Amino acid sequence: MTEEMKQNLEVKSFEVGDVVTGKVTKVEDKHVLVDIGFKVEGIVPISELSSLHIDKAGDVVQVDDELTLKVIKVEEDEIVLSKRAVDAEKAWEELEKKFEIGEVFEAEVKDVVKGGLVVDIGVRGFIPASLVERHFVEDFSDYKGRTLPLKVVELDREKNRVILSHRAVLDDEIAKKKQQTLNSLEVGQVLEGTVQRIADFGVFVDIGGIDGLVHISQLSHQHVEKPSDVVEEGQKVKVKVIGLDKENERISLSIKETLPGPWDLIDFKPGDIVEGTVKRLVNFGAFVEVAPKVEGLVHISQISNRHIATPHEVLKEGEKVKAKILDINKENQRISLSIKELLDEDPKENLKAYQQTEEPFRFSLGDVIGDKLKKLK
């Protein structure tokens, strides 16, 4: 360096508050020396390197790094600079913009402290434990060094307070996914979901960021006493959308309608002999349950070999009977049965039916003298 250059540097002056640029010439444990064109090198104490606590200056800067610094003290043979002050001022301007528009940005977790996480974003940012995840986290130790997407939820420049949230980002993602799912739903769709919560009246199933209700009556083709008898929380289930109110975000689902029905499980054909239970008696016949939730009709004409006025003359509800399948239509869920045809094939039953049908032998006056009366005429 020429003498003229030295003289120019010596006359160059700085004032507190000035922002200067310089190159790092030396890194010590507790401070950094920077060439800013002053007669002596500027010094940046370790406390002025970062908004966070650091153990060694070398953790933040290296020799030959170009730094933008703020003058915080000027003496004849010493000038003290701050990187933290410049970073903070810039950071506050950016944070205020991010806070205003709800911008999502990323930051690395620098430290895990009591009550949450700390990040360096030009200023010290704090993520309370309750704002880290949507679920409870017992141990945050493995979060150090992780980069998280964050949103500013509270900002107070006077108190140097910056509260950030990772949970808010997750909540926004869930809300967006929920709306997308809601928009795509249609009655009749079959989806896979996860049982989230079980209540007395049914279960709530997550079908993609939004929950739908499976009423207890839609859990199974069989009668269900308690939903917990059929499903458990966390279980993956197939559901069918049977009701949809997008405006009020109400979704009715059915597990039952995704399962094979009672009629899908039967394997009967005309001519088969089945045993069942008389469930209902009506004027025109009897309904007999021949498989769980599958009933067939025995028309009154197919109940007995003798004429009967009502099915009640021969059958009673709850009675076990055998019947022959005359016809079956799975599509329309209809089975025609006959008890009479089994009676025709069983001589003993025929005799029993005959005995029940024939009147006791009786004489009448007409039977005895009928012919004589005709002759007298």
| Residues 258-276: tens digit of each pLDDT | 988 888 888 899 999 999 9
Q: CATH number of the domain at 193, please.
A: 2.40.50.140
* 40 and 124 belong to one structural domain: no
pLDDT in tens, 1-14: 444 444 444 445 78
Q: Give the mean pLDDT of 280-304.
A: 94
* 211 and 138 belong to one structural domain: no
Residue 267, CA distances (Å) to 270, 289, 336, 338, 342 in order: 10, 15, 15, 18, 20
pLDDT of residue 369 exceeding 60, the answer is no
Last residue of a domain, one of 210, 236, 258: 258
pLDDT of residue 364 exceeding 90, the answer is no
Q: Which of 210-224, 302-316, 340-354 has the lowest mean pLDDT?
A: 340-354
* 269 and 342 belong to one structural domain: yes
pTM value is: 0.56
Has residue 212 been placed in a domain?
A: yes
pLDDT confidence of residue 1: 43
* 253 and 268 belong to one structural domain: no
* 348 and 270 belong to one structural domain: yes
**Cβ count within 10 A of residue 213:** 18
* 340 and 279 belong to one structural domain: yes
* 246 and 268 belong to one structural domain: no
Has residue 374 been placed in a domain?
A: no
* 272 and 339 belong to one structural domain: yes
Has residue 180 been placed in a domain?
A: no
Read off the pLDDT band of 52 (50, 70, 90). confident
More confident call, 375 vs 335: 335
Q: Which of 118, 133, 122 is nearest to 98 (CA)?
A: 122
More confident call, 49 vs 226: 226
* 112 and 72 belong to one structural domain: no
**Amino acid identity of 196?**
Q
Has residue 93 been placed in a domain?
A: no
User: For residue 43, what are the domain limits?
Assistant: 3-86
What's the structural domain count of the chain?
4
pLDDT confidence of residue 16: 87
pLDDT confidence of residue 374: 45
* 269 and 335 belong to one structural domain: yes
| Burial profile 33-56: b = 16 or more Cβ within 10 angstroms, e = fewer | bbebebeebbbbbbebbbbeeeee
Please state the three-class secondary structure of the chain as a single string. Answer: CCHHHHHHHHHCCCCCCCEEEEEEEEECCCEEEEECCCCCCEEEEHHHCCCCCCCCHHHCCCCCCEEEEEEEEEECCEEEEEHHHHHHHHHHHHHHHHHHHCCCEEEEEEEEECCEEEEECCCEEEEEHHHCCCCCCCCCHHHCCCEEEEEEEEEECCCCEEEEECHHHHHHHHHHHHHHHHHHCCCCCEEEEEEEEEECCEEEEECCCCEEEEEHHHCCCCCCCCHHHCCCCCCEEEEEEEEEECCCCEEEEECHHHCCCHHHHCCCCCCCEEEEEEEEEECCEEEEEEECCEEEEEEHHHCCCCCCCCHHHCCCCCCEEEEEEEEEECCCCEEEEECHHHHHCCHHHHHHHHHHHCCCCCCCHHHHHHHHHHHHC
